[in-house]
Structure 1
Amino acid sequence: MTRKNLIYIYSSLIPLLYLSSCSAPEKVLEQELKTMPGSFNVQVAPEAPHLKWQQIFSEPGLQRLIDTALANNFDLKTGMQRIEIAGAQLRLSRAAMLPGLNAQVSGGLDRYGNYTMNGVGNYDTNFSPNIDENRRIPYPATPDYFAGFRSSWEIDIWGKLSKRKEAAFNRLLASRQGLQWFQTQLISEVAARYFELAALDKQAEILTHNIRLQEKGVEIVEAQLAGGRATALAVKQFRAQLFATRGRAYEIRQDISRAENELNNLLGRFPEKIERDTAMITRTVPRTLFAGIPAQVVLSRPDVRQAEFELKAARADVTAARKALLPSLTLDAYAGYNSFKLPLLFSPGSLAAGVLGGLTAPIFNRGTLKNGKRIADAEQLQAFYNYQRQIINAYQEVSTQLTAMDNLQHAYRLKTAQVQELNDALSTANDLYLAGYASYLEVIVAQGSVLNAEMEQVDLKRQSYGAMIALYRALGG
């Protein structure tokens, strides 16, 4: 093929490349974030101190359990592998920007027809007096042997590959933030199960104490029945109350077994006894957490940061998909030994090298690429909506838990006062019953009221610890 013909072919391709690269003006996806309030709806400190989980959950037994969970939890280990995958994908995107180099050893056999250019050319060449025996082309089947290196390099003239690398980098950052968020959730779950166990232990202790009191009450009323001072109905009522309390004790035992198994599952081990400090449920809930302003708290949460990096990655994907519609420039090169006779393959005369540059633009597969861009646009909007949702959820969670800690603290104080009043009422009811001024029903009601109030008091303390844990989680750990 002559140089004139090559120039004609390339000049005819230029308009096609231009037309394929032209497209309708891109619609810019512009979205605005909702404005966050300037402060939470409660009084908080102006700045948020950097507290580690060890400072918040200071009980030694709980710290050992959290350390075990961080070392052995299988979901956490799975998250670490997601980071490894994201890192490998980033390295792959970087490698795509570099020339590829492959070592190649190949052999082939071609049989050209008698009425083809190669067939006629090879046949005619063998009659030339200018070639020696080694240069004679095997006919009619011509072998082709190659041993050397081949390279291909797509030059990133539009920045398509760099945008793909940018997307991979942001997904790596997002996976790291996701792991940090899961660590925060894992710590919160372990702490919540630990405080739940402490609360259940306290409730079991309350039930045991009430069972003993009720057993003593049954003995008294049975003695009164024998002396003619009580009825059989009173005995049955006292016994029924005792049976109900014993049944609640078994329910608490089952709750303890469930909570222990759930905690052991978080620790990545088979069920076993959980060592814990039961008395801690009676202590004052620590109030060392501060909220600060929403811009400092909400935007620094790992899940919000993860959504932010995913949004950046989606935007880079959109740009890369748009630039995939433009022509791509590729350079191909090779160097090595090439011969049609195997004994002569590694002779100096078989050394060969070549380079080829090509400009390629999509034509028939342009619809496929456009649909890829539409998918990238939709995924970008999904990432944006997810980012907005995470910000709103984070703000609401912090605000809710701040009010919960205050409200539950007031409720616990009132419940404590109620328990004291009911205990006094029970003591008075017992004295009046023994003196004959109160009925057995009043004693039963008083006993039940004390038991329920004490159980609710412990549950309120558990909820207060739960609000503290939820606030730690809402602040992003």
Structure 2
Amino acid sequence: MKLLLIAAPLLLASCASIPLEETATSHQLATTSSWWNEQPQPNLRSWWSSFNDSQLTRLVNLSLQQHPSIDSAIAAVRGAQAQRQVTQASLFPSLDYSVSTSSNRTWNNGNDSTTPSFSTGLSASWEADLFGKNQQELLASDATVQAAKADFASVRASLAAETALAYLQLRAAESDLSLLQDSIKSQEETTQLAQWREQAGTADSLAADQARSALESSQASLSTLRQSTEELRNRLNLLTGQPPGSLSFASNGEIPTPSNSFAKSIPTDTIRQRPDVRSAGYRWVQAIALTRSANADQYPSLTLSGNLGLSSLGASKIFNAQSVAGNIIAGLTGPIFDAGRIRSQIAVQNAAEEQAFASYRLTLLTALSEVEDALIAARRTQERIVTVSSASKLAKSAADLASQKYEAGVIDITQVLETQRNEITLQRDLVSTRLDNATAYVELYRALGGGW
């Protein structure tokens, strides 16, 4: 068990390239975990390839290309980048032009005359960023862009995991379906034998009724499993951005699982790559920058403006130097009384900053917990696979032996049906446990931020 002190602001500063030295000593997160080490960074970008299943790889890649949520997240990034350009423009002067024409009509001794006049001009203004208000707003916009990119990565990571989980569930349902079909064949043979004995008068109708009841119960379960497989196929179509029925799936009846050696090397900085952790961190950075911007409102602002105009009574004389007029104005403004507006706005931003940090801290702790839970699930389900597999083999042997004894007339139908039920139950438990194991690895990859 190794204790790690994660200095959150320093971590964020390294990610966002935004100076946060002033807050670096004010917040620290103490976390403990048993899985941190200093091994090289594993490649999590395309973790689904570790399952060695070409259909899974095809479906995940298709979902990352075709699902509408990807387009939506990309549009959000573009919007944040455009807004950042808007904010950056405030750091530079603005320059406008104007062109106008007018005419004066006069009457003198019955004579009507019209005198045209022309004017053109340039005006410029610039607010000097004396106390960094605009610069802090630009830093906040930078953080917003990075958060949008992290949200895009989060969409990719989640979509890859959800597609993999749906695929694994489909394979498990197909395995269940195959097992149940084999079990129904055995039950049909048992039911036929019980009916023959009833017709021969060597057994009463109770045995035949019990056999038929067990058979019909299994057939009902078969219908439920078929429904589940069809629904999972539709879900995979949805996750890959396709209409229902568009994709074809070759059934292989096996649940793919990755190598479990991955869980043995998770580096200390892996948690930083989780997109939701990065997004929450950038939101905190944004809140800090906006707080600094609000603080700058307490101080004076310097605005420079100027005008350059040309006017003339004739279009041909518009650029005559005698018609040039210009001025430059410098204005210094600052708050005197605002009924507490600035102070209240600073308090609002301080509260928003505290909320953003609390959200970041919760996201980080949640990430640590999810990794720990996924590692535990991967380890424990692997242990269960061994025991359930052994029990399933023993149950099959018992069911085969019970059928032989029933055919020989040594035991009654109740024992046969019981061993058959136990066999199919354990076989399906084994499928379920294998699904749980594969699911644990998918959740581990998702918890580590894989998929982007």
| 1:40 corresponding residue in structure 2 | 35
**Alignment of 1:172 onto 2:167:** no
Which of residues 50, 61, 65 is equivalent to 1:56? 50
Could you tell which deviates more after superposition, 392-401 or 231-240?
231-240
**Alignment of 1:98 onto 2:92:** yes
Could you tell which deviates more after superposition, 369-378 or 216-225?
369-378
**Alignment of 1:231 onto 2:204:** yes
Taking structure 1 as reference, are residues 339 and 159 closer, same or farther at Cα in structure 2, changes over 3 Å only?
farther
Q: 1:399 Cα deviation (Å)? A: 1.0
Stretches (4+) displaced over 6 A: 339-346
| 1:211 corresponding residue in structure 2 | 184
Other structure's SS at 1:56 match: helix
Taking structure 1 as reference, are residues 341 and 264 closer, same or farther at Cα in structure 2, changes over 3 Å only?
same
Could you tell which deviates more after superposition, 54-63 or 150-159?
54-63
Partner Cα distance (1:369, 1:108) in 2: 46
Partner Cα distance (1:364, 1:215) in 2: 91
Task: Report Cα offsets for 1:412-432 as digits up to 9, x if no partner.
Answer: 111111111111111121122
Q: 1:284 Cα deviation (Å)? A: 5.3
Larger radius of gyration: 1
Q: 1:194 Cα deviation (Å)? A: 0.9
Q: 1:364 Cα deviation (Å)? A: 4.7
**Alignment of 1:69 onto 2:63:** yes
Given residue 70 of structure 1, which amino acid in structure 2 is its aligned partner? L
Given residue 404 of structure 2, which amino acid in structure 1 is its aligned partner? D
Task: Report Cα offsets for 1:127-177 as digits up to 9, x if no partner.
Answer: xxxxxx9xxxxxxxxx99753222121110111100000111111112112
Partner Cα distance (2:190, 2:142) in 1: 72
* TM value normalised by structure 1: 0.80
Other structure's SS at 1:295 match: coil
Other structure's SS at 2:29 match: coil
Other structure's SS at 2:96 match: strand
| 1:470 corresponding residue in structure 2 | 443
Partner Cα distance (1:407, 1:185) in 2: 24
Identity of aligned residues (%): 26
Taking structure 1 as reference, are residues 215 and 254 closer, same or farther at Cα in structure 2, changes over 3 Å only?
same
Partner Cα distance (2:262, 2:332) in 1: 61
| 2:19 corresponding residue in structure 1 | none
Which of residues 296, 309, 323 is equivalent to 1:350? 323
Other structure's SS at 1:35 match: strand
Alignment of 1:395-406 (within 5 A): 395-406=368-379
| 2:4 corresponding residue in structure 1 | none
Task: Report Cα offsets for 1:87-116 as digits up to 9, x if no partner.
Answer: 11111111110001122235799xxxxxxx
Q: 1:397 Cα deviation (Å)? A: 1.0
| Larger fraction in strand | 2
| 2:169 corresponding residue in structure 1 | 196
Task: Report Cα offsets for 1:368-412 as digits up to 9, x if no partner.
Answer: 333322221111111101111111111111111111111101101
Task: Report Cα offsets for 1:294-331 as digits up to 9, x if no partner.
Answer: 63122232221221121111101100011022111111
Q: 1:218 Cα deviation (Å)? A: 1.6
Given residue 91 of structure 1, which amino acid in structure 2 is its aligned partner? Q
Could you tell which deviates more after superposition, 180-189 or 228-237?
228-237
Other structure's SS at 1:311 match: helix
Q: 1:339 Cα deviation (Å)? A: 6.7
| 1:247 corresponding residue in structure 2 | 220
Taking structure 1 as reference, are residues 89 and 65 closer, same or farther at Cα in structure 2, changes over 3 Å only?
same
Partner Cα distance (1:283, 1:304) in 2: 29
Taking structure 1 as reference, are residues 398 and 68 closer, same or farther at Cα in structure 2, changes over 3 Å only?
same
Given residue 164 of structure 2, which amino acid in structure 1 is its aligned partner? A
Other structure's SS at 2:340 match: helix
Q: How many residues align?
A: 417
Given residue 449 of structure 2, which amino acid in structure 1 is its aligned partner? G
**Alignment of 1:152 onto 2:125:** yes
Partner Cα distance (1:280, 1:433) in 2: 31
**Alignment of 1:332 onto 2:326:** no
Given residue 215 of structure 1, which amino acid in structure 2 is its aligned partner? E
**Alignment of 1:367 onto 2:362:** no
Partner Cα distance (1:385, 1:144) in 2: 65
CA contact 1:337–1:350 (8 Å) conserved in 2: yes
